Structure 1
């Protein structure tokens, strides 16, 4: 267990002030900026008080004079884990705002609902006369991390601000939230069991607190069950109505990154079939970057989706029986593939004086389509170059849907033969004759599962 502290052993204990100074010093060279103080949370009982540092839960002990102390060795262990996190500042995940998210929602715990915590803080009006008490950085504090120093604001359609965090930090906070939730659930079970048996002496209370089990971050993946196609061929619209589905989802590890717990159930918007449980980070990376409903940007993240980790992502998309049997992708993903892969030889380059290669691709790729996903065979994809330095490029190519699917089929066989081998028109049993309407993905609304 992370943070196993015994009140009777004081040689390893530090006051919160000293522990905060140690934490800040040990993580000064970390890629993830940290807060200068350590916060204590509890579950309605002093025996359940704890601090969350990175993805480590550390028990807290209250002395007779009312001061809190925590273990020095556990602070050092948490700092080692945080320093090991590598951050790519260009690999960002949107964390808000999302429609339907309540403003100013807070939890007594340090981290639970960390996305809501951040969005609530950013959306809350701060009158000029409101003064934050000295030393109270709870608004900036997420598991010992100062999130404002790594938050990125971007403008959408020049009117709406959105907030983003590095993907590595999002995964760290997701793992920390999972560890904290497990720790609190274990504590609640112990408390209920104690109430149903007999009152406990102070010694037995200490023993119970010491033996609360929580998964260490290093073994987080081992504590979750892998997804073994248990939901294969099932419709998202059916599963989303079952009350126990969201609980089952959180018991799986993310199917793609295999590092943190799954939080959402990814599904095909065109055919309605479930693909697999994913974490928020992978789900956000998989989601197309829409400018408009039928117009998307083709960003650098497609390098990972369609190049470096193509086999994993293609296998994930083909978990949908509709996409797999027709050897294609959902319309928005097929459009991005056409612009990024099929039209790559057509993309012009310009001289780049700041690059050793001498030239760089022109402008920014964008792809739009006419028609509807209900009748994809009538669609035409238009690949466009935006922000050309010389202003000379407009439409790069116009590709009919049938041509795009045929090009994708050929490319798939060369790039991911194992995925292509599982696809084909001979497996059309039980598939709808017509494309299903898009099933709204409500994960953006309050970040609910369904």
Structure 2
């Protein structure tokens, strides 16, 4: 039975239209501008059981008459949180355009995906008819924030446009996406029609034997060559331009999982050397989860990279001649390792139904680069921590991080550590090779 709205109460249910008006009134003086239609206009998700307001996911309720409502108290709490956010309009973060920027890890599809939405709207703004259709009666908002009022457009060389948002807003939208992900994960399942077996929608696969794999038991087997060291020491910038390289890569099995066909040449972006041919899945798994060019989120998949399948991944990373000779990892991977492994004991925990679990989401950023190790500093922090968001756990100098990694590598993967070391420095150039430009992410060339 639904609760009626009583005059003077702030914990009763109000209609979505009333919630829109209340949200606007409460956030009039906020440093972060808000938009009307936060509950009733796309990408609001009221009919999915929640609405994002700032960094908070607010539950919605369907009343007995079939209309959707929202607790007034929750709207007020979300507005109070947003009003407490300070913002420096000069502290900007680039939000596009990027060519295939590495996507943040997601446990499942979430509707916000604010970076993709911003990119889509800005790229579509060049079409006058499409822009007119979108703007009529449609306020621009994400999680109730009018991001268009804060967007800064810059032009490079009189031609290339780039778009920027204040860092405080970027963090709010990151937090909103995280809150939505948590909501979707913990929300009770909705009643639906008969369940469809997940495996029934996948292509049938025959058992894998002798490096062969088929997509249909009755189809012909496709032989896949196991990768040896055929491309060791080769430069990606040279090899990728040779005709027939992609066809040659497709003939190998993935050098990491050793089951799927290879599709890409994975290479070290710091030294420029080819590591090995890998499948698309392993290539995505290996890629750092960048938020900004010098800032990554240490997501759950690092459990596999550094713990459960550490030996395979360490062996793969050390296929790069430069990383193997210096017994280290590329800077983003070393930063993730430092946060996940070296600073594991510093991460706060909180109570959970089955004991305690790590709090928040690990994040690590750095200043400088591996080419100037004396000035390079790694900062490990926890986002979305109940005891203080963006809580700093440790600041680790680059050289200290590499020394810790040396000791851990010798204990975790002794065979990989034995193949590394300074005795191989003679094979390297006396100067650092030019960094290979990452054509899939403009502005992320080092990574």
TM-score by length of structure 1 reads 0.51
1:379 to 376, 381, 393: 376
CA distance in 2, matches of 1:409, 1:281: 28
Q: Superposed, which structure 2 residues align to 1:2-401 within 5 Å?
A: 90=107, 158=173, 215-217=214-216, 223-352=223-352, 355-357=353-355, 359-391=356-388, 394-401=391-398
- The answer to whether residue 390 in structure 2 is matched with residue 408 in structure 1 is no
Report the Cα offset of residue 365 of structure 1: 0.5
1:428-449 per-residue CA deviation (whole Å, 9 max, x = no partner) reads 122123333431233579xxxx
Change (3 A) 1:305 1:228: same
Tell me what 2:428 maps to. 431
Change (3 A) 1:411 1:338: same
Confirm or deny: 8 A CA contact 1:385 1:396 kept in the other structure. Answer: yes
Change (3 A) 1:220 1:330: farther
Change (3 A) 1:299 1:173: farther
1:227-286 per-residue CA deviation (whole Å, 9 max, x = no partner) reads 111101100011011011111111111111122211110000000000000111110000
Confirm or deny: 8 A CA contact 2:263 2:278 kept in the other structure. Answer: yes
Change (3 A) 1:444 1:263: farther
CA distance in 2, matches of 1:276, 1:97: 30
Confirm or deny: 8 A CA contact 1:369 1:380 kept in the other structure. Answer: yes
CA distance in 1, matches of 2:220, 2:304: 24
Tell me what 2:51 maps to. none
Change (3 A) 1:312 1:378: same
CA distance in 1, matches of 2:372, 2:430: 11
CA RMSD of aligned residues (A): 4.0
1:80-116 per-residue CA deviation (whole Å, 9 max, x = no partner) reads xxxxxxxxx9388x9x979x99xxxxxxxxxxxxxxx
Tell me what 1:7 maps to. none
SS at match of 2:225: coil
CA distance in 1, matches of 2:365, 2:432: 20
Change (3 A) 1:228 1:91: farther
Confirm or deny: 8 A CA contact 2:205 2:215 kept in the other structure. Answer: no
Structure 1: segments with no counterpart, 5+ residues: 1-88, 102-123, 129-155, 177-213, 446-450
Confirm or deny: 8 A CA contact 1:220 1:259 kept in the other structure. Answer: no
CA distance in 1, matches of 2:363, 2:278: 27
Structure 2: segments with no counterpart, 5+ residues: 1-105, 121-129, 135-169, 182-197, 207-212, 443-447
SS at match of 2:432: coil
Confirm or deny: 8 A CA contact 1:267 1:320 kept in the other structure. Answer: yes
Confirm or deny: 8 A CA contact 1:379 1:401 kept in the other structure. Answer: yes
Confirm or deny: 8 A CA contact 1:221 1:260 kept in the other structure. Answer: no
Confirm or deny: 8 A CA contact 1:220 1:260 kept in the other structure. Answer: no
Higher deviation after alignment, 376-385 or 216-225:
216-225
CA distance in 1, matches of 2:388, 2:224: 52
CA distance in 2, matches of 1:324, 1:220: 39
Confirm or deny: 8 A CA contact 1:276 1:319 kept in the other structure. Answer: yes
CA distance in 2, matches of 1:91, 1:314: 27
Confirm or deny: 8 A CA contact 2:382 2:389 kept in the other structure. Answer: no
Runs of 4+ in 1 over 4 A off after TM superposition: 172-176, 214-222
1:317-357 per-residue CA deviation (whole Å, 9 max, x = no partner) reads 000010001100000000000000000011111122xx212
Confirm or deny: 8 A CA contact 1:327 1:420 kept in the other structure. Answer: yes
Confirm or deny: 8 A CA contact 1:331 1:376 kept in the other structure. Answer: no
Q: Superposed, which structure 2 residues align to 1:413-424 within 5 Å?
A: 413-424=410-421
CA distance in 2, matches of 1:174, 1:250: 21
Change (3 A) 1:221 1:424: farther
Confirm or deny: 8 A CA contact 1:298 1:339 kept in the other structure. Answer: yes
Change (3 A) 1:258 1:363: same
SS at match of 2:229: coil
